[in-house]
Amino acid sequence: MSWSQIFHTSCLVLLVQLLCLEAVPISLDKTKVNQPEDKASEPPPSVDTGLHYDRYLREVIDFLEKDQHFREKLHNTDMEDIKMGKLAKELDFVSHHVRTQLDELKRQEVSRLRTLIKAKQDIEGGNDMVVDHQALLKQFEYLNHMNPHTFEVEDLDRLIKSATNDLENYDKDRHEEFKKYEMTKDHERREHLKTLDDEGRKKEEEHYEEMKKKHADHPKVNHPGSQNQFKEVWEEADGLDPEDFDPKTFFKLHDSNGDGFFDEQELEALFTKELEKIYDPTNEEDDMVEMEEERLRMREHVMNEVDTNKDRLVSLEEFLIATKKNEFLEPDSWETLEQNQAYTDEEMREFEEHLAQQEEDLNQKASDLQKQRDELERQQEQLNSQKVELQQAVEHMERLKTQKVEPPPEVHVEGNAIPEPRGEYHPLPPGHQDMSQNHPGMKQDNHLQNQIPHNTQDLSQPRLQDLPPGHLNQPTQPQLPDKTL
């Protein structure tokens, strides 16, 4: 958005433009002025004050303009009384229908502000914070935040005073922004020179000086608001003879909305011819941001000289008085921006120190963030290592479950049973077990074995494996009586 689109008018300008419909009657010499063709009347375009609550301001004025009583009071109230809040008290006599619409406008505006506050909190990372909307709404002084539902006299009074005060400081803020723009541009040029070698730096300096000379080589610029400046517009823009210049006719021709006042936008349009002498958008040496600053400097100068009641409007009466002053007839020469540097050397030094501090703070933040990132990566590696170890332990347990060998069953020896030896099993010959049971000696041995604990072994008894080979295969013969006896 250009500078001229940002800065237009104040709340008072809007009130007059939208509520005053009658133009100041003046006499025209029809033999010297070409009458424009009759065209269907169109409402003037809405002007943007550049304030962050501009839409709310214009909508309030649009609704107030519909009330006949309020319009009549406006015509009978001077600017000082408006600034003092006397006009706001007339809101009590506005129709119920208009008041209802104003109530709805205020509710929508409060809702918009709360949305902006919430969005700001989200951006700053305060999603978990409890937002005190009532406390934050205090910063918006153009409405009564304690009553978010109805539009009252205090709301209109706040709106008028805030718009007036904000726009009075707007020029100062704009100059500071332009100063910062110029210092930033010069700082970047100096930093670029540091990156070049001696030969490249020399060429760049020569090119810079050449562009400065080309920009300064332009026709003479008339003093803004002077007779010569207006006559040039009269001749080149209006196509009229400069010898027939008439202040009243000039005012009528350039009061584009016909409200009987020159507002800031209409004044700025008068300086286009002078600016075209200095700036050309096709030239490398001409900066269009500087052109808009020059335009606003001219408008500010004329307002300071002509706007005697400081209402940010130039009435026909104020205009005619100004055309009779010596400054209008024999003005001093106008010094353009290249003749008036926007900043001092001291301001440039402080600006560069501020930039250096900002760069240092950013580097420190970047370093801290890098450390945090490295720490998070280290912790992530530890987690990944622990995860791998845990997975390996789980896999090992699964393998143990699948490869586990069943333990051998417990051997219980009951009665005369002989436990089966481990290893290779050799069955006894048929009948051996019966013979051992019928043999008296074996029975005695079995009886003794039953008295010995199972977990002990009688070393006096021969073991099966100690018997001579073939002993078990020889049948035991019962002893017969000697027949000789």
| pLDDT, tens digit (0-9, with 9 covering 90-100), for 230-270 | 999 999 999 999 899 999 999 999 999 888 899 888 999 99
Q: In whole angstroms, how far apart are CA 174 and each of 184, 352, 420, 462?
A: 15, 20, 110, 122
Residue 135: what pLDDT? 57
Alpha carbons 1 and 207: distance in angstroms, whole number: 30
Q: Is 445 exposed, middle or buried (0-12, 13-18, 19+ CB in 10 A)?
A: middle
Q: In whole angstroms, how far apart are CA 466 and each of 47, 136, 199, 421?
A: 126, 107, 114, 15
CB 157 within 8 A of CB 60: no
163, pLDDT greater than 50: yes
Compute the average pLDDT of residues 207-230.
92
- pTM of the entire predicted model: 0.56
Residue 318: what pLDDT? 93
Residue 33: what pLDDT? 43
Tokens 């000289």 sit on residue: 305
Coil, strand, or helix at residue 395?
A: helix
Residue 394: what pLDDT? 92
**327 vs 392, higher pLDDT:** 392
Residue 446: what pLDDT? 47
Q: How many percent of the chain have pLDDT more than 70?
A: 69
| pLDDT, tens digit (0-9, with 9 covering 90-100), for 329-380 | 877 778 899 888 889 999 999 999 999 999 999 999 999 999 999 999 999 9
Residue 10: what pLDDT? 44
Going 339 to 341 to 345 to 346, the CA torsion angle's sign is positive
Residue 72: what pLDDT? 81
Residue 52: what pLDDT? 79
Compute the average pLDDT of residues 462-478.
51
Q: Amino acid identity of 283?
A: N
Compute the average pLDDT of residues 447-476.
49
Q: At 25, is the pLDDT very low, low, confident or very high (cuts 50, 70, 90)?
A: very low
Alpha carbons 116 and 170: distance in angstroms, whole number: 22
185, pLDDT greater than 90: yes
Residue 280: what pLDDT? 93
Question: Across the chain, what does the average pLDDT equal?
Answer: 77
Compute the average pLDDT of residues 425-432.
54
CATH architecture of 196-343: Orthogonal Bundle (1.10)
**301 vs 137, higher pLDDT:** 301
Residue 50: what pLDDT? 65
Alpha carbons 82 and 78: distance in angstroms, whole number: 6
Q: At 301, is the pLDDT very low, low, confident or very high (cuts 50, 70, 90)?
A: very high
289, pLDDT greater than 90: yes
Residue 129: what pLDDT? 57
Alpha carbons 267 and 44: distance in angstroms, whole number: 16
Residue 314: what pLDDT? 92
**438 vs 287, higher pLDDT:** 287
Q: Which residues contact 380 (CB under 8 A, 6 or more apart)?
A: none
180, pLDDT greater than 90: yes
Residue 229: what pLDDT? 93
Q: Report residue 147 as tokens.
A: 């009553």
| pLDDT, tens digit (0-9, with 9 covering 90-100), for 85-116 | 778 888 888 888 888 989 999 888 888 888 88
Q: At 160, is the pLDDT very low, low, confident or very high (cuts 50, 70, 90)?
A: confident
